Amino acid sequence: MNNISTVLKNLGILKLNPAFSTGSNWGATSGAKTLDSFSPVDGKKIASVQLATDEDYETVIKKAADAFLFWRNFPAPKRGEIVRQFGEALRMHKEDLGTLVSYEMGKSLQEGFGEVQEMIDICDFAVGLSRQLYGLTMHSERPNHRMYEQWHPMGIVAIISAFNFPVAVWSWNTALALVCGNVCVWKPSSKTPLCGIACQHIIATVLKKNNMPEGISNLLIGNSVGNLINNDKRVPLVSFTGSTRIGRVVSASVASRFGRSILELGGNNAIIISKDADLEMSIIGAVFGAVGTAGQRCTSTRRLIIHEDIYEAFKNKLVKAYGQLRIGDPLDQHNHVGPLIDIAAVEMYSHAIDKGKKEGANFVVEGGILSGDAYQSGCYVKPCIAEVENHYEIVQEETFAPILYLIKYKTLAEAIALQNGVPQGLSSAIMTLNLREAEQFLSAAGSDCGIANVNIGTSGAEIGGAFGGEKETGGGRESGSDAWKGYMRRQTNTINYSNTLTLAQAVKFDL
């Protein structure tokens, strides 16, 4: 594995000046303010990144609008070819980009590599999609008329992404938006700006190689950028991934100007552990779901709803498994759990534990902040487990940290009600070898989440399926299936090839 300086150099973003000169591809000027990026792994400053000004925003939006006039008429399969080359470039840079993701965000190295693989997978998906943007034909009620529908690109698609998946979520949106004929403007998380610059450099290189307008893909890093996007009528679609709290603001702002939004917000995901479950497999799914990415996935397992007959036995297995977890540098592949993203996240973790105890939570695995030379960033915490009631206020909230809540149930109907009894509706799972239980969980009377799994955990989505959830998760869908329709506008067309004008519904209008 390369050291971080070599990684930055290989990704083409290392400059002699500690402040990155981001240039026209992502819109920052030489006089802009800077943002320091620190690694949660060791607390060290990686680099300073120049922030975009309001003037930079205008420059980028105008370039994007000009590029759209070209890109929308560029044949879809040829757009797919550009995305294919982007996927090939990602394959070349997988190790370096995955390492940067791990170091700047704090997730394990294997998860960093996996995130880049998701980018490659969505590019492959989008290439095929570029020849499958199907419409429908319908029979007209009027003689000698043909009726059909087609899909057109919308224009500028803005992507506002979160720190926990600093590259994959952008690619989900970008690959689909591009093959659909849109152009993209990306505001990455200010907590992981270097990942954004690396991705923009890779795709900009592909565009330049093909003599494409640079405004097809754009990056803007800055505190004011999100607000400018949300209120800009020139941006018909905003895809936002983040907290429910900020999602409400984005949704209201975009809707007030009759724009469209794709919202992928918070999750409060549960696994039901049936008395008919394979307990060994269930332990693996529960532990990975709860501690993977240090509990900082929107699909992280927050709650285990366990049948009363196996509750104590499963709890004891879980406690034993937690005792085997290795916490430390995520670039060391022997470790299971890395750091939280920053000190603010650590404070939220501590607050949730304190609040849980005040409400009556019984911690069977205690939490705490780790200290010492191996944890010098101050961002390493202990994954913990608490016995709770589902109605506790802290259980109803999403805490982006490795805190797992245990809840006991008697009947499957009760378990499903507990699973659904939170404001969020992203991912859910049941562990059972009972076919009736599995089918009931997946029925209309079962899980109310956008994702419902049987005998796998709540995290680890594949790009082939549409990703997203209901209720306070926002209702948006990204990635696979027919999620591409969210990036296009539908148009119904009727062609009259007769020599008379026939009105619908047999209306007569004679002159």
Domain ranges of the chain: 4-265+474-490, 269-462
Amino acid letter, 267: G
Query: What distance in Å separates the CA atoms of residue 247 and residue 256, rounded to the nearest whole number?
Result: 14
pLDDT at position 14 is 66
Q: Is the pTM of this model over 0.85?
A: yes
What CATH class does 4-265+474-490 carry? alpha beta
Among 264, 398, 472, 478, which one carries the catalytic annotation?
A: 264
Angle, CA of 397, 338 and 240, to the nearest 5°: 50
Per-residue pLDDT of the chain (511 residues; tens, 9 = 90+): 678 889 998 998 865 333 333 333 444 555 668 899 999 999 999 998 889 999 999 999 999 999 999 999 999 999 999 999 999 999 999 999 999 999 999 999 999 999 999 999 999 999 999 999 999 999 999 999 999 999 999 999 999 999 999 999 999 999 999 999 999 999 999 999 999 999 999 999 999 999 999 899 999 999 899 999 999 999 999 999 999 999 999 999 999 999 999 999 999 999 999 999 999 999 999 999 999 999 999 999 999 999 999 999 999 999 999 999 999 999 999 999 999 999 999 999 999 999 999 999 999 999 999 999 999 999 999 999 999 999 999 999 999 999 999 999 999 999 999 999 999 999 999 999 999 999 999 999 999 999 999 999 999 889 999 999 999 999 999 999 999 999 999 999 999 999 999 888 988 888 7
| 379: helix, strand or coil | coil
Q: Is 264 a catalytic residue?
A: yes
Nearest to 187 by CA among 235, 223, 237: 223
DSSP labels, 278-290: -HHHHHHHHHHHH
Nearest to 98 by CA among 125, 118, 83: 118
pLDDT at position 19 is 31
The strand pairing partners of 409, in sequence order, are 307
How far lies 48's CA from each of 14, 30, 32, 102, 379, in Å? Answer: 11, 13, 11, 18, 20
Alpha helix (H) residue ranges in 343-400: 343-359, 393-396
Per DSSP, the chain holds a count of helices (H) and strands (E) of: 16, 22
What CATH class does 269-462 carry? alpha beta
Strands, E assignment, 83-198: 137-138, 145-153, 156-160, 183-187
Amino acid letter, 181: G
